[in-house]
Structure 1
Amino acid sequence: MDPFDFSLQLRYEDIPSPVLEKAPDLILDLLGVAAAGHRTDAAVIARNCACGLFGASASNPSARMLFDGRVVSPAGAAFAAATQIDSFDAHDGHPLTKGHTGVAVLPALLAFGASHAPISGREALACVIAGFEMATRAAIALHATVPDYHTSGAWNALAVAAIGCRLQGLGRDELRQALGIAEYHGPRSQMMREIDNPSMLHDGSGWGALAGASAAVLAANGFSGAPAITVEADEVAELWSDLGDRWLIDEHYIKPYPVCRWAHAVIDGALMLRAEHGLEGPDVAAIEIDTYQDAAKLATDMPANTAKAQYSLAFPVAAAIERGKVGVDEVMGSGLVDQDVARLVAVTTVREEPRYNPPRARGRPSAVSLVLNDGRRLSSGTVVPRGGPDEPLSRAEISQKFHDYAEGVLEPSRARSIERAVYGLSEVDGRLDNLLELVLTDVGSASA
């Protein structure tokens, strides 16, 4: 099946069971991240500005914003939701994309699903799965054909456009135009600029969602676009040849920690040493990290805000050792002013280890060593981060993460209802509307 037919015609019945089981896990995880991200400055600014910049009109479709409820255009709702999720770096990704997929796919479903005809739960899952497949392949194609390392918005915009076209009931030609528009206007921003200078820009997915949603609406109104190179160029044809046979959504990781994936192996190693040896922060005199080139570029000082904390290497490892976990409070609360964590950050050194660099290494490996006050030196050995297909999080772990992240933002009864609604999408009588009513209202609203 070619990318156009796949995007528009993929049926729930044609999708393998493991993929159907993975999709609700990803949706629930994204909603937990969105709940935690609701309070970030970037998310608040994005939602407020969406009202002014991308407001709804009486004669056009509209959509409510995620965990907010105010009405804007579908493009505005997609922009606000993607920015909100992107503001808290705990969402899914794929190693070959070097970025994030669901951060734009879910906002597209919510924005267009809320503004068009009622959608069955199974159709919603098919849309999400098709979006993941489209975005992931577009990402791999982009990385294979350009020299720069672009943010995720450059390619997840195409998935948003595809979902928007499908839910608007458009055909092949409109989809082809929409993909061309989305690729042309998608934010080809340089990811390493954000790594070097962490800010509210994050991974460009807010603008990717905005470009993709706008492209779908423009195409519906007859606007044309140049063919999408990442979909139609001869040199990327092989990447699309297994569409419908190989399911890249099943290769996505779900993050255990709300920081850049490049730091995860070291966090896992630090927590392992802490548990195995009964350590606490005061026991540690120095931390030594050996990692690959990209990860070594993450920040090594004490972060001043959550954006910098999420793109740090020394900080989350120090927090893991001192506090025994890396969660919402560590990255967005008291962890940022914890002087015991700051002490450990100050005694951390980072080295680039050539054998951990691709293509020699697979799976983003790293190692951490702890020098103790009693003179002992403990090493984790090579560690590969958890959460991917080789060591996936269990459904119980995904559920716990969701409730941990939603805590303090959503009432517990509402969080439980959201979880039931997500996994109810696969039921014969499942409806997307059941979920929309729970997530498209303000955090203080909606009945459970």
Structure 2
Amino acid sequence: MTKIIDYIRNSQWQDFPSSVKHNAFRSMFDTIGVSAAASKTELSAIIRNHAARMFGGAGASLWWDGRKVSPVGAALANAMSIDALDAHDGQKLTKGHIGCGLIPGIMAIAEAEGIDDSQEIMTAMVLGYEFGTRAGISLHASTSDYHTSGAWIAVTVAAIGARLMKLNESQMRHAMGIAEYHGPRSQMMRCIDTPTMVKDGSGWGAMAGVSAVYLAADGFTGAPAVSIEGKDVADHWADLGQHYYMDEQYIKLYPVCRWAQPAVEAVLDLIKHHDITADQIANIEISSFDEAVRLCSMAENTEEAQYSLPFSVAVAACHGTIGVDEISTAGLTNPNIQAMARKVNVISNDDFNAEFPKRRLAIASIETTEGGRFSSAPTEAIGDPEAPVSDDVLRQKFDTLAASCDPETQKRLSHALGDLRHMPDMNKVLAIMQKH
């Protein structure tokens, strides 16, 4: 445990390889872009109002809102707001998302504590991705239930927040233990089967992590964090500082569950290569892994749309892509999309089950009204670390999402975040997001 704590407390920006720095810039850029579009959701409005009412204070900002709340409240609301739009980055082995909860958590502490060094914030972010990926893998290996990202993000935010607060080794250890104990052990597949606003637990995890840091600073005890300190999970932590998971995050092109995106890409590929139009499609069969098969809800709201493979495939088949509008009112009330979704049948594939979570695969078969049948090869989603999207594509995604802001704000935000090769100005980024 001392080795892990020493690494978190003592690592500096210059210690990281150039690829790690570049991918950190990309993930920060991507997450902030998602936050802008996500702030327009009903979920975001509800949780921001809740934070202002129940977690008031003056320490940290509600992003894209203008109000100030406690750092605990800011972490809760900003992370849950990002989670409202399933377009943020993720990591395959964790079956979850690090930046969604980590970035709001560490930025809430940084703002509350007057930490305005962009390099320190970005260093904390990299350490959070390294710690968080291992925390997710470790938790999944140590329990039979599949918990949301919030469960292990709580410990991650506590560990990295303790660095920002300059807690000593004992306090840091207790912060992690408190966060693990108080963090949400929420059941991910329950929300997959019945999609609601609880989503991936990132908001409650970020809040529990920030709370744990301040509790530990005041002398509250809670060690050990068994998913970090347990002998049975030691192998997951052995390569910390040697192997960089920052280079193994994926970037999403569409604001829907990652598990649906291999099927989406397979369908788009068939449509492109066989020149199929939406009105020629009689039915679509998707063969994929079990977790994707359970994304089966017929969408009546955006939460159900984001966790529905048939709806995601239907949008792609009708529009050639999936945007925020398509998973919002415009798409949900579109009779063509709803009719197409009813043509989608999803079946389990044992070979793909064996590959999950390291690989997420799908095969699509389209039967046309003229009697033709076309099948794809096994397909993975675009944006995986093995086939990353370019910086230009990432910028296009950002511009699309940040278009929810006025043009001048979008331009200033993009400029503050930088060119993805140099340090962003996080003080300017935060100042822009403080404006309503």
For normalisation by structure 2, the TM-score amounts to 0.97
- Tell me what 1:140 maps to: 137
- Tell me what 1:357 maps to: 353
2:287 match: secondary structure:
strand
1:172 aligns with 2:169: yes
**How much does 1:413 deviate?**
2.5
Letter in 1 for 2:133: T
Measured in 2, the distance between the counterparts of 1:362 and 1:81 equals 29
**Higher mean C-alpha displacement, 305-314 vs 165-174:** 165-174
**Higher mean C-alpha displacement, 410-419 vs 396-405:** 410-419
1:208 aligns with 2:205: yes
**How much does 1:170 deviate?**
1.7
1:155 alignment partner, one of 145, 152, 156: 152
**Higher mean C-alpha displacement, 261-270 vs 119-128:** 119-128
User: Is the contact made by 1:121 and 1:427 (CA closer than 8 Å) also made in structure 2?
Assistant: no
**How much does 1:425 deviate?**
8.9
Letter in 1 for 2:426: L
Measured in 2, the distance between the counterparts of 1:295 and 1:203 equals 16
User: Is the contact made by 1:66 and 1:81 (CA closer than 8 Å) also made in structure 2?
Assistant: yes
- Tell me what 1:388 maps to: 384
- Tell me what 1:322 maps to: 318
Letter in 1 for 2:392: A
2:365 match: secondary structure:
strand
1:200 match: secondary structure:
coil
1:131 aligns with 2:125: no
Measured in 2, the distance between the counterparts of 1:56 and 1:164 equals 19
Measured in 1, the distance between the counterparts of 2:421 and 2:358 equals 34
1:56 match: secondary structure:
strand
2:73 alignment partner, one of 48, 71, 76: 76
User: Is the contact made by 1:120 and 1:425 (CA closer than 8 Å) also made in structure 2?
Assistant: no
User: Is the contact made by 2:107 and 2:121 (CA closer than 8 Å) also made in structure 1?
Assistant: no
**How much does 1:376 deviate?**
0.9
- Tell me what 2:15 maps to: 14
- Tell me what 1:369 maps to: 365
- Cα pair distance change 1:284/1:424, threshold 3 Å: closer
User: Is the contact made by 2:175 and 2:223 (CA closer than 8 Å) also made in structure 1?
Assistant: no
- 1:434-445 aligned at under 5 Å gives the runs 434-442=428-436
- Tell me what 2:231 maps to: 234
1:299 aligns with 2:304: no
Measured in 2, the distance between the counterparts of 1:424 and 1:379 equals 40
- Tell me what 2:55 maps to: 54
**Cα deviation per residue 1:176-217 (whole Å; 9 max; x = unaligned)?**
110000000000011111011100000011100110010011
1:415 aligns with 2:410: yes
User: Is the contact made by 2:315 and 2:337 (CA closer than 8 Å) also made in structure 1?
Assistant: yes
**How much does 1:388 deviate?**
1.0
- Tell me what 1:4 maps to: 5
**How much does 1:426 deviate?**
7.0
Letter in 2 for 1:39: K
- Cα pair distance change 1:106/1:284, threshold 3 Å: same
Measured in 2, the distance between the counterparts of 1:212 and 1:294 equals 28
- 1:331-342 aligned at under 5 Å gives the runs 331-342=327-338
Letter in 2 for 1:376: G
- 1:38-49 aligned at under 5 Å gives the runs 38-49=39-50
Measured in 1, the distance between the counterparts of 2:426 and 2:304 equals 36
Letter in 1 for 2:21: L
- Tell me what 2:264 maps to: 267
- Cα pair distance change 1:224/1:425, threshold 3 Å: farther
1:290 match: secondary structure:
strand
1:103 aligns with 2:136: no
Q: Following TM superposition, where does structure 1 have runs of at least 4 consecutive aligned residues deviating by more than 4 angstroms?
A: 359-362, 424-428
Letter in 2 for 1:411: D
- Cα pair distance change 1:333/1:9, threshold 3 Å: farther
2:246 match: secondary structure:
helix
1:312 alignment partner, one of 304, 308, 312: 308
Measured in 1, the distance between the counterparts of 2:400 and 2:432 equals 18
Measured in 2, the distance between the counterparts of 1:372 and 1:297 equals 25
1:289 match: secondary structure:
strand
2:95 match: secondary structure:
coil
**How much does 1:424 deviate?**
6.8
User: Is the contact made by 1:300 and 1:345 (CA closer than 8 Å) also made in structure 2?
Assistant: no
**How much does 1:163 deviate?**
2.5
**Cα deviation per residue 1:255-290 (whole Å; 9 max; x = unaligned)?**
111111110101011111122222221011111111
Measured in 1, the distance between the counterparts of 2:338 and 2:184 equals 35
1:166 match: secondary structure:
helix
- Cα pair distance change 1:426/1:281, threshold 3 Å: closer
- Tell me what 1:185 maps to: 182
- Cα pair distance change 1:371/1:105, threshold 3 Å: same
Aligned residues: 435
User: Is the contact made by 2:41 and 2:84 (CA closer than 8 Å) also made in structure 1?
Assistant: yes
**Higher mean C-alpha displacement, 192-201 vs 119-128:** 119-128
Measured in 2, the distance between the counterparts of 1:142 and 1:361 equals 14
**How much does 1:340 deviate?**
0.9
**Gaps in structure 2 of 5+ consecutive residues:** none
Measured in 1, the distance between the counterparts of 2:346 and 2:297 equals 8
**How much does 1:117 deviate?**
2.7
**Higher mean C-alpha displacement, 253-262 vs 409-418:** 409-418
Letter in 2 for 1:417: R
